[in-house]
A = this chain, B = another copy of it.
Amino acid sequence: MIIDCHGHYTTAPKGLQAFRDSQLAGLKDPKHVPSKGTLKITDDEIRESLENAQLKFQRERGTDLTIFSPRASGMAHHIGDATTSLHWSQHCNDLIHRVCSLYPENFVAVCQLPQSPGVPPSNCIQELERCVNELGFIGCNLNPDPSGGHWTAPPLTDKYWYPFYEKMVELDVPAMVHVSASCNSNFHTTGSHYINADTTAFMQFLTADLFKDFPALRFIIPHGGGGVPYHWGRYRGLAQDMNRPLLVDLIRNNVFFDTCVYHLPGIELLLKIVPMDNILFGSEMVGAVRGIDPETGFYFDDTKRYIDSVTWLSGGDRKKLFEGNARRVYPRLKL
């Protein structure tokens, strides 16, 4: 089985944005009383939104199962308050649950969290429990910067996050470290904010003892680990200068990179540098880059094709990369 650990519902029916637009309009009206409201989307609309996108690409590219979550840039935790974020997250998560119920062999669910700037992450425990215990979700996306590019929250290694981590460990679910849209004009959302957040999270993990406190806590750093594999020597050297553990020991059971790197030389570097036990196949499909690479004639985000062309990978390596590691990181995945 080929498991893609990184897919977002970027093609959701218009009803989702209609709800969000109405929610945001309410925020501008001082007399408006926030309420959860309802989402008007039919099953047929859901089917249609997937058949010509994610499902078509699964078939064409030969992948089987996508670990699927709400659109990352749509989370926009910086908008409104914790109630705004809760209502929005619940709708987004319920919609993912409907997707996974309609296509149980193609999608398995990961949830958005109702984070909000300045609100402790413990506030997200209830929604995580609802998604995992009631709806069968197998993980969550954790935003290290709910402010959307102002980076006002404490680092991921701060005790601020610990109550949420305790719940993650108890439920045995990992988190993908994933920021959302940037509202800071310095940072392009998918071109720099995403990559920067990945690099930032890794360096936070490198400089603290988080995994001594939580040996069973697991994070996926998406987008091939941001800038980390390219600068692996820098990180090995910094760790050494600071008397920190070897990187391979630091990440062994706790930090994993996906393969969302959109050209062969980048994928080759990733596979050469990062231990094979710490890489999960992912494509971010349909996501940040939607076009076809004129140099290859194939979609930029068809990352399986790059991996398939790396001749020195053993059969055992491929098995880990495409399936085994995902099953280890997401033990609630039972398919």
Q: Which residues of chain A have a CB within 8 Å of any CB of chain B?
A: 144-145, 149-151, 153-155, 158, 184-188, 190-192, 195-196, 199-200, 202-204, 206-207, 223-224, 226-227, 229-238, 240-241, 261-263, 265-266, 269, 272-273, 288-291, 293-295, 300-301
Contact = CB atoms under 8 A, between A and B. Distances in A.
**Among all A-B residue pairs, the 6 with the closest Cβ atoms:** A233-B263, A227-B227, A233-B262, A237-B289, A230-B230, A237-B300
Contacts of A154: 185-186
Q: Which of A153, A227, A288, A300 has the most CB of B within 10 A?
A: A227
Contacts of A269: 230, 265-266, 269
A268 to B, nearest CB: 8
Given A191-B206, A265-B273, 11 more contacts: A187-B200, A190-B238, A191-B235, A192-B202, A192-B203, A199-B199, A231-B262, A234-B300, A237-B291, A238-B288, A240-B291
Contacts of A240: 291, 294
Contacts of A235: 191
A234 B272 contact: no
A236 B207 contact: no
A257 to B, nearest CB: 11
A262 to B, nearest CB: 3
A224 B230 CA distance: 9
A315 to B, nearest CB: 23
B293 A237 contact: yes
B196 A231 contact: no
Contacts of A229: 230
B155 A289 contact: no
Contact of A186 (B155, B202, B241): B155
Nearest to A226: B227
A23 to B, nearest CB: 28
